[in-house]
Structure 1
């Protein structure tokens, strides 16, 4: 009889390192890597893991009730990408926009933390330096019933090519792979912020208390549509970022990509 996803999730949560010394002791495992084929339940495992954590703590935080952030977890998986969707209004001949479902995660990282420039820079690094995301400012629009509707800032993204000499192309719809990279860059900006905040040892000295109860970061199959060189670079950069974490934060990373797994495995040896 096979092991259930719930049992695997519990094993990940309870994982301990054992020393070989005579006075053997145990310590939490900082990073756990899992390699598995597509369709074997990696995303479902991340949901099972989340369910073990959501009942542990009571009380709300500003970022709570997001598909990405809870009081004691932060995770990236297919549901993170589902926060973003395309508005293809061909009937009214409007230009394509990548829209964001209302959520506390992107509101906090974009509006409160002002990470838009960092996200744009990282996205261009992994794709094309001329392919530029543009976050919207707040504006009003008339709906089909003639009512004025306010569209909040940082809820829509358009993409264009900067061709030099201040020439900008019409807005374009980027590929699914580029979209995945963009979403990862948004998440990565949050992860950088989280690690930086928690590296301040004294909680009262931290710039925010939003992450004080955070225990786990679960990353399920981050960008895998990159070419091999960029994929290796992303894996190395992720490992470097995790190594800067000086807090008790623990990381679980799952992937179906053997190259991504091997690079991370070598980085964490």
Structure 2
């Protein structure tokens, strides 16, 4: 008799291995499994279903799935068609994530990971805090503060004159107005968008592992990961060619391998995928 998602999630927990790989076709419930697993690891307050969790689930589990991608959405600037930007949906997780990325200065690593896995010529730029004019419900003009790291714009080079920065990496929010004639803002493809979001989570994961590998709690760069138990990754591949797909898989395995794990103690990883190539590379690299 087939198992329920709850039973599968319970079995994953009981197995108590550092890494567990699952291959399954699309539509068979991989994303729902990640949610079911998360509810078992960090259940909501059953005494008051309308309340927030007794503690944030991110303290015990970090996960990447379709819901993670839903936290990012486009403002297409339909009026002027000149300023498309990828916005980050405000909630407790993204607020925590944005603050953490700012504190650790990880934006440069996100750019590097994004460009490596997509070979994209677009450079992501996180915004600094700024004021924007808008209309209230009474149609009166008012100023709204846009928090730092809540928007991402993507720039590509035009016909660059000699005075322009030598590399796209030199573009920052501070000097972007100086190069508006040399670079243009674009809306990246859906595949690039998915891989940018994965790059954000992968960069976070790099920092998590490096931090937890420090055995002395007092020497850790942050204590926000001290109680973390699981990382659940559901299909981190979208519109990648085979070369970049293999590269991503190998990098992920290398990262997980350096994560400290001794006699059942340490971070545990669950990876699900519908892609046979991605699964096979992971399986062979972990052997």
Q: TM-score when scaled to structure 1?
A: 0.87
Answering whether residue 105 of structure 2 is matched by residue 87 of structure 1, we say no
Is the contact made by 1:100 and 1:155 (CA closer than 8 Å) also made in structure 2?
A: yes
Aligned equivalents of 2:220 and 2:183: distance in 1? Answer: 43
Aligned equivalents of 1:267 and 1:109: distance in 2? Answer: 31
Shift of 1:231: 0.2
Equivalences for residues 74-153 of structure 1 within 5 A: 74-102=62-90, 103-128=94-119, 130-144=121-135, 145-153=140-148
Answering whether residue 19 of structure 2 is matched by residue 2 of structure 1, we say no
Shift of 1:147: 1.1
Report SS of the residue matched to 2:271: strand
Report how many residues are paired: 250
- 1:242 counterpart residue number: 256
- Indicate the larger mover: 115-124 or 39-48: 115-124
Report SS of the residue matched to 1:91: coil
Aligned equivalents of 2:99 and 2:257: distance in 1? Answer: 25
- 2:217 counterpart residue number: 203
Answering whether residue 156 of structure 2 is matched by residue 161 of structure 1, we say yes
Cα 1:113/1:218, change in 2 over 3 Å? same
Aligned equivalents of 1:256 and 1:105: distance in 2? Answer: 30
Aligned equivalents of 2:58 and 2:96: distance in 1? Answer: 10
Answering whether residue 35 of structure 2 is matched by residue 44 of structure 1, we say no
- 1:23 counterpart residue number: none
Cα 1:56/1:89, change in 2 over 3 Å? closer
Of 190, 206, 226, the residue aligned with 2:204 is 190
Is the contact made by 1:224 and 1:257 (CA closer than 8 Å) also made in structure 2?
A: no
Aligned equivalents of 1:117 and 1:70: distance in 2? Answer: 23
Aligned equivalents of 2:182 and 2:73: distance in 1? Answer: 23
Report SS of the residue matched to 2:184: coil
Aligned equivalents of 2:246 and 2:110: distance in 1? Answer: 19
Shift of 1:59: 5.6
Q: Deviations over 1:235-256 (max 9, x none)?
A: 0000000001014100000000
Shift of 1:212: 1.2
Shift of 1:162: 2.7
Shift of 1:71: 1.4
Answering whether residue 60 of structure 2 is matched by residue 72 of structure 1, we say yes
Cα 1:81/1:56, change in 2 over 3 Å? closer
Is the contact made by 1:95 and 1:171 (CA closer than 8 Å) also made in structure 2?
A: yes
Answering whether residue 264 of structure 2 is matched by residue 229 of structure 1, we say no
Answering whether residue 255 of structure 2 is matched by residue 264 of structure 1, we say no
Cα 1:149/1:229, change in 2 over 3 Å? same
Structure 2: where are the runs of 5+ without partners? Answer: 46-52, 165-180
- 1:22 counterpart residue number: none
Cα 1:131/1:89, change in 2 over 3 Å? closer
Is the contact made by 1:132 and 1:162 (CA closer than 8 Å) also made in structure 2?
A: no
